[in-house]
Amino acid sequence: MEKIGIMVCGHGSRNQNAAREFATVSEGLRARYPDTPVEYGYLEFCNPVISEGLDRLRAKGVTRVLAVPGMLFAAGHAKNDIPSVLNTYQAQNRDMVISYGRELGIDLRMIRAAGARITEAVEAANAEFGELPLHDTMLVVVGRGSSDPDANSNATKVMRMLWEGLGFGWGETVYSGVTFPLVAPGLKHAAKLGYKRIIVFPYFLFTGVLVKRIYSQTDEVAAEHPEIQFVKASYLSDHPLVLDTFQDRVQEILDGQALMNCQMCKYREQVLGFEAEVGLPQESHHHHVEGIGGGLENCPCKGDCDASCREEEFCRAHGLPWTPVHSHSSPAALEPVAHAHGDHEHHDHDHGHDHHHHDGGHDHGNDHDHDHGHSHDHAHDHAHAHDHPHDHSHDHGDGHAHHHHPYPHADHPLGPRSMDKKKV
């Protein structure tokens, strides 16, 4: 007899607050499905990992799993990494069927939840600084940023719907990493447009390293422009409409309607500028960091990690052990993709740096440092060896091979480098 269970799949974060917030999704679904086992798990940086959550469902007698990605948009994590983990688990446990749902995506409930967070920020600013018409206010929506142009365009669509729906004077989209424009240059550009107030809204599900950096960089740009009110809106969190959308994604699986949007997928169609990625292998690169935990137990962040504990200088200043961890965020200089006869050449990636680490887990969203949501893809900063065509196998010296296609706009002046790490 079939027994159904629900599995919520997140990216993971070093930030313990982000992990706690992500857990509220499963708690919310348990309340909505009181007779159905609900578990959750992460790709990396957090426990339990996805396979552990599946083990718990299996121990409860679950034979069919409805797995939903805790992601705002579908990019590498939702398209490659999570399916890879789920497929591997199902291959090893033939008595269990795992049905995969789609990301939260462009959904009017998500737009309304985002609108509520932005409205809260506007009302708070009016109370603190005095009333200001929305026509004199600019909205800047911060997306996670991805090497998948379809996911990036979704963030822009969200911004436009919020801009038009709420009636702001102007609206722009910036990104926390991988693509362009990044937060700091985007906000500096916004400051030139003459608006008296700028609302900065991270379109992320939960807090995490990236959300903290977004707020930090907002403060830095605000300090350069004291004549402008920079207002930091809250991320989505566990807004009831977000939980409603998760519930709908579960129901879609049951109804046989859980279809991933593949019409504009760069792995299946020739997306402008990304033609060389059609048909590339889709596989997870997170296996070697599953379960790697968050911040150090005695870290000054007290669980609200901003990734400073991965900085050698910070650890030295605070007497902490420094543990370099693999990252895709912002080590050495990026190099643009070479083009030969209209095609992208393939180069072997030789890492020209000693260490690099992830910006967590989620969105993204995606932290959670991708803050689950965000379609959370990674940009690699590598030195390239151009001796001969090759696949993109990354030899980290630790026996783990990664496969990432280089981002075609790595030389863009407004990105795509993840936000600068916090300085000590």
> Contact, 393 vs 357, CB < 8 A?
no
The answer to whether residues 173 and 226 belong to one domain is yes
| pLDDT for the residue numbered 300 | 63
| pLDDT for the residue numbered 105 | 93
Domain final residue pick, 166, 201, 232 = 232
Give me the domain span that covers residue 22.
4-105+240-255
Residue with more model confidence, 104 or 271: 104
| pLDDT for the residue numbered 299 | 64
Q: What is the bridge-based pairing of β-strands 339-340 and 170-175?
A: unpaired
pLDDT tens digits, 269-302: 655 656 666 656 555 554 444 545 555 555 666 6
In a domain, 170, yes or no: yes
| pLDDT for the residue numbered 37 | 97
Sequence-ordered list of residues with C-beta below 8 angstroms from that of 391, at least 6 positions apart, any chain: 346, 403
Nearest CA to 163 among 192, 184, 138, 194?
138
Q: How confident is the model at residue 118 (pLDDT cuts 50, 70, 90)?
A: very high
| pLDDT for the residue numbered 417 | 59
Q: How confident is the model at residue 364 (pLDDT cuts 50, 70, 90)?
A: very low
Sequence-ordered list of residues with C-beta below 8 angstroms from that of 200, at least 6 positions apart, any chain: 140, 142, 187, 214, 215, 218, 230, 231, 232, 233
In a domain, 409, yes or no: no
Q: What whole-number distance in Å separates Cα of residue 122 and Cα of residue 363?
A: 23
Residue 351 has pLDDT above 90, yes or no: no
The answer to whether residues 248 and 201 belong to one domain is no
Q: How confident is the model at residue 373 (pLDDT cuts 50, 70, 90)?
A: very low
The answer to whether residues 79 and 95 belong to one domain is yes
Segment among 66-70, 162-166, 217-221, 407-411 with least mean pLDDT = 407-411
Residue 382 has pLDDT above 90, yes or no: no
- The position carrying tokens 């593949």 is 262
Nearest CA to 69 among 99, 100, 93?
100
In a domain, 88, yes or no: yes
The answer to whether residues 147 and 249 belong to one domain is no
Counting the structural domains of the chain, the total is 2
In a domain, 9, yes or no: yes
pLDDT tens digits, 161-173: 999 999 999 999 9
The answer to whether residues 24 and 113 belong to one domain is no
Q: 409-421 burial string, b = 16+ CB within 10 Å, else e? A: bbebebbbbbbeb
Angle at 403 between CA 399 and CA 404, to 5 degrees: 135
In a domain, 275, yes or no: no
Residue 149 has pLDDT above 80, yes or no: yes
Max mean pLDDT among 41-45, 132-136, 303-307, 342-346 falls in 132-136
Q: What whole-number distance in Å separates Cα of residue 17 and Cα of residue 304?
A: 6
Distance in angstroms between the alpha carbons of the first and the last residue of the chain: 58
Segment among 126-140, 205-219, 263-277, 342-356 with least mean pLDDT = 342-356
| pLDDT for the residue numbered 291 | 47
The answer to whether residues 244 and 202 belong to one domain is no
The answer to whether residues 220 and 247 belong to one domain is no
In a domain, 197, yes or no: yes
| pLDDT for the residue numbered 334 | 35
The answer to whether residues 76 and 151 belong to one domain is no
The answer to whether residues 94 and 32 belong to one domain is yes
The CATH number of the domain holding residue 216 is 3.40.50.1400
H/E element, 392: none
| pLDDT for the residue numbered 305 | 62
Amino acid at 45: F
Q: How confident is the model at residue 307 (pLDDT cuts 50, 70, 90)?
A: low
The answer to whether residues 18 and 164 belong to one domain is no
> Contact, 155 vs 233, CB < 8 A?
no
In a domain, 249, yes or no: yes
Nearest CA to 11 among 44, 39, 40?
44
Residue 62 has pLDDT above 90, yes or no: yes
Strand order in the sheet with 170-175: 170-175, 137-143, 197-202, 229-232
Residue 40 has pLDDT above 90, yes or no: yes
The answer to whether residues 52 and 126 belong to one domain is no
In a domain, 395, yes or no: no
Residue 328 has pLDDT above 70, yes or no: no
Determine the average pLDDT of the residues in 60-88: 89
| pLDDT for the residue numbered 422 | 45
Domain final residue pick, 221, 255, 289 = 255
DSSP E strand boundaries for 78-196: 97-100, 137-143, 170-175
Q: What whole-number distance in Å separates Cα of residue 160 and Cα of residue 172?
A: 8
- The position carrying tokens 């001969």 is 388
Residue 347 has pLDDT above 60, yes or no: no
Give the chain's length.
424
The answer to whether residues 63 and 126 belong to one domain is no
Q: Hey, what's the torsion of the CAs at 326, 390, 271, 142, to 10 degrees?
A: 20
> Contact, 329 vs 177, CB < 8 A?
yes
Strand order in the sheet with 401-403: 383-385, 348-350, 393-395, 401-403
**Dihedrals phi, psi of 407, to nearest 5 degrees:** -75, 130
